[in-house]
């Protein structure tokens, strides 16, 4: 795994503007999926699978293989007037991992016929994506910082996090 990390490292710093636009994309896909789950159509699998694959790409490789992150970092952000603000990367990766797990639960629940569970987790994902995109509030980052403070994640995982106020 260290060899893989050498070729596909996750960024130590993440542009918060890009992260918020990615969260907006996640919000739009999760709301679309929620509506499709509620009307009980198989089309719901499309945005849910896109969410799952996008989270997996961002967890594994950062923005390099995520179509949403590539569009945001290469097209959208360069064409906006927002000032770049860099934040520590490891907490964002942790938040993406939570999104990956949530998306997997959504997809598996839907495949097993538990559409209420899928809808519930889509609402949860939508709320947290909204908080990140609209307010810059990263709940996963707060959990990450708490886990560092509790000693469950070594401080060496993110030395920048010690001085960063979430």
Residue 99 lies in a domain: yes
Burial of 75 (0-12, 13-18, 19+ CB in 10 A): exposed
* 48: Cα within 13 Å, side-chain hemisphere: 27
Q: Provide the residue range defining the domain that includes 72.
A: 10-78+85-163
160 pLDDT more than 90: no
Q: What is the pLDDT of residues 58-113, one digit of tens each?
A: 998 888 889 999 999 999 999 999 888 889 999 999 999 999 999 999 999 999 99
| Number of domains the chain contains | 1
Query: Do residues 45 and 32 touch, judged by C-beta distance below 8 A?
Result: no
Percent of the chain with pLDDT over 70: 93
86-88 and 13-15 as β-strands: parallel, antiparallel, unpaired? Answer: antiparallel
Residue 61 lies in a domain: yes
Residue 2 lies in a domain: no
Residue 125 lies in a domain: yes
12 pLDDT more than 70: yes
Secondary structure string (H, E, C) spanning 61-114: HHHHCCHHHHHHHHHHHHHCCCCCCEEEHHHHHHHHHHHHHHHHHHHHHHHCCC
Instruction: Tell me which residue has tokens 């809808």.
Output: 119
Residue 147 lies in a domain: yes
Report the chain's mean pLDDT, rounded to a whole number: 90
Residue 156 lies in a domain: yes
User: Dihedral, CA atoms, 140, 142, 144, 146, nearest 10 degrees?
Assistant: -140
pLDDT of res. 2: 46
pLDDT of res. 1: 42
Residue 5 lies in a domain: no
Compare 106 and 157 and report the one with higher pLDDT.
106
């Amino acid at each position: 795994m260290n060899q893989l990390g050498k070729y596909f490292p996750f960024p130590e710093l993440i542009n918060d503007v890009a992260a918020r636009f990615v969260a907006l994309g996640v919000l739009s896909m999760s709301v679309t999926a929620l509506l499709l789950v509620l009307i009980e159509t198989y089309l719901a699998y499309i945005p849910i699978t896109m969410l799952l694959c996008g989270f997996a790409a961002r967890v594994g490789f950062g923005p390099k293989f995520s179509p949403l992150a590539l569009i945001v970092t290469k097209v959208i952000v360069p064409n906006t007037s927002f000032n770049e603000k860099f934040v520590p990367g490891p907490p964002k990766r942790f938040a993406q991992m939570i999104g990956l797990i949530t998306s997997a639960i959504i997809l598996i629940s839907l495949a097993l016929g538990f559409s209420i569970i899928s809808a519930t987790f889509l609402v949860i994902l939508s709320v947290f994506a909204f908080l990140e995109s609209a307010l810059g509030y990263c709940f996963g980052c707060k959990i990450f910082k708490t886990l560092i403070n509790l000693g469950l994640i070594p401080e060496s995982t993110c030395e920048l996090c010690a001085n960063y106020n979430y």
